[in-house]
Amino acid sequence: MADALIEVDNLYVSFAAEHGRLLRAVDGVTFQVAEGEVIGLVGESGCGKTTIAKCIAGRIAPTSGTVRFEGRELGLKRAAQDRRAIQMVFQDPYSSLNPRMTIRQVLSELLRVHRLVARVGIEERCVQLMALVGLPRDALDGLPSQFSGGQRQRIAIARALAVEPRVIIADEPVSALDVSVQATILRLFEDLRSRLGLTVVFISHNLAVVRHLSDRLAVMYLGRIVEEGDRESVFRDPRHPYTRALLASAPRLHQVELVRPMVKGEPPSPIDIPTGCSFHPRCPRAAEVCSSDKPRLERVSTSAAHLAACHFRDETSPEAVQGQ
C-alpha cells in the first residue's frame, strides 16, 4: 500500500510491571491506514488498542517500531503541524473537557494559537464548528457541566475539528453514551468522513458499531493483530477463532436463545503472554502446534486483502458454510 497515510510498523510497547517484569501492551503490530479510510480497531479490554492510539497521537513513545505519517516518522516530539494533523476523541466525555473553560474559550484558543483564521473570523468559525457537530450557537457560552454526555462528545469532536486535522483517532467514542444518543454520534462520524474526507481510526469493543462505520477492520488480542481485512470479508468469513467468538458473543436484539460461550476462561495477563499462539489456552480449535509455534499474520487463501494469524486460517468456519 504505497499511498498509506499512516503506517504503523512492527510496533512494540511495554511497561514495567511489578517484580521487574514487563507488561507487553503492544506486541509487534503492523498496519497501514489509507487516506480517507475508516479502520476499525477491535478487541476487548487490555488488548492494546488504546496504547496503539496513544502512540499514533504522540502521547507515548513506542519501545520499538515506528509510526509514519505521510512517509515521515513521527515520535513524541512533533512539529505543531504534525500534532494538529492527528487528533483524538476520547471515550469519557466527562473527563475530556476542561471544566473551567467555556466552549468558546476552548475553540477560539486553538484557532488563535494556530492562526487558522483571521482574528475577526474567529467568532464566525466557532459558530461554524458548532453547526458542523449539530449544536446551536448559544452552546459556545456554556461550560462543560451544562451539557449532556452526547452533547459533550459533540463538543469534543468540534474541538478536534477546530485544528483542521487529517486523521481522527476515536477511542471508544460512544461506549460511555446512552444507546439513544449513540446513533447521533455515529451519524456525525459518517457525515464528517464523507464531507471532510477525514481518515478515521475507530477503536471499539462493540462489533456492531465497527461494522457499521469502518471500511477495514483489525481484530486485536493480547497486543497483537489476529485478523485483518476489509469489513465484509472479516464479518462474513472470520478466519480466526477469536474473531468468531467475538462475533458469536456480540449482543443481538433478536437472539432467539442463549449463546453457548465459544471460548473458555479469560484473557491471560499481558505480563504472562502464553507461548505460541497467545489465544491457544482458550481456543476451541487449538492443536499441539498452537502452543509451540507463533502463527504469523498471513493471507487467507480466498482473499489477498484478508489476513489472519492462525495455523488453521484456511479452514472455513461452520457459520460461513451455512451461509453459502
Partner 1 sequence: MNAAITPSVALIEPEHEVARRPSFKSRALHNRTFMAGAVMITTIVALVLLAPVIGRYSPVGQDLLHTLSGPSALHWLGTDELGRDTWSRLLYGGRTDLQVGVLAVIFPFCFGVFIGTVCGYFGGRLDSTVMRIVDVVLAFPFYVLIIALVFFVGVGTHGIYIAFALTDWVVYARMTRSGTMVARTLDWVAAAEGGGLSRARVLWRHILPNTVTQAIVYSMSDIVIVILAVVTLGYLGLGIQPPAPDWGSMITDGQNFLQTDQWMAIMPGVAVVFTGIALSLLGDGLADILRPE
Partner 2 sequence: MTPILEVEGLVVEMRRHGVAFRAVDDASFSLERGGALAIVGESGCGKSLTLRAIMGLLPNGGRITSGRVVIDGVTLGTAAGGRGRGHSQRQRMSIVFQDALSALNPVATVGNQIAEAPRHVLGLGRSASRERALELLHLVGIPDPERRYRAYPHELSGGTRQRIMIAIALSSDPAILLCDEPTTALDVTIQTQILALLAELRAERGLSLVFVTHDLGVVSQVAERLAVMYTGRLVETGTTAAVLATPRHPYTAGMLAAAPDVDTPEREPLAIPGSLPDPLRLPSGCTFHPRCRFATPECVTTDVRLEPVGPDHEAACLHSDELATPRAAGNRG
Residues found near partner 2 in the complex (CB under 8 A): 44-45, 148, 150-151, 178-184, 186-187, 205-209, 211-212, 231, 235, 245-263, 266-267
What would the x/- binding string for partner 1 be over residues 184 to 223, using CB under 8 A?
Answer: x--xx--x---xxx--------------------------
Cβ burial of 134 (10 Å; 0-12, 13-18, 19+) is middle
**Which parts of 44-103 interact with partner 1 (CB under 8 A)?**
57-59, 80, 83-84, 86-88, 90, 92, 95-101
Return the sign of the alpha-carbon dihedral for residues 304, 307, 309, 312: negative
Contacts of 219 (CB under 8 A, 6+ apart): 42, 43, 225, 226, 227, 228, 234, 240, 242, 243, 246
What would the x/- binding string for partner 1 be over residues 107 to 126, using CB under 8 A?
Answer: --xx--xx----------x-
Return the H-helix or E-strand segment holding 188: helix 179-196
Whether the Cβ atoms of residue 218 and residue 230 lie closer than 8 Å to each other: no
Q: Provide the minimum distance between the beta carbon of 261 and partner 1 in the complex, in angstroms, as a whole number.
A: 34
From residue 4, alpha-carbon distances to 67, 80, 99 in Å are: 12, 21, 37
Quick one: 62 or 93, whose CB is closer to partner 2?
A: 93
DSSP, res 102? -
Q: Provide the minimum distance between the beta carbon of 191 and partner 2 in the complex, in angstroms, as a whole number.
A: 12
- In sequence order, the β-bridge partners of residue 68 are 7, 73
Residue 191 binds which entry of partner 1, partner 2, none, CB below 5-8 Å type-dependent:
partner 1
Contacts of 125 (CB under 8 A, 6+ apart): 107, 111, 116, 117, 162
Quick one: 84 or 244, whose CB is closer to partner 2?
A: 244
Residue 141 binds which entry of partner 1, partner 2, none, CB below 5-8 Å type-dependent:
partner 1
By CB under 8 A, tell whether 242 contacts partner 1: no
Quick one: 135 or 309, whose CB is closer to partner 1?
A: 135
Closest Cα partner for 56 from 39, 41, 76? Answer: 76
The rounded distance, in Å, linking the Cα atoms of 39 and 229 is: 10
Residues that bind partner 1 (CB under 8 A): 57-59, 80, 83-84, 86-88, 90, 92, 95-101, 109-110, 113-114, 125, 128-129, 131-136, 138-139, 141-147, 151, 156, 159-164, 184, 187-188, 191, 195-197
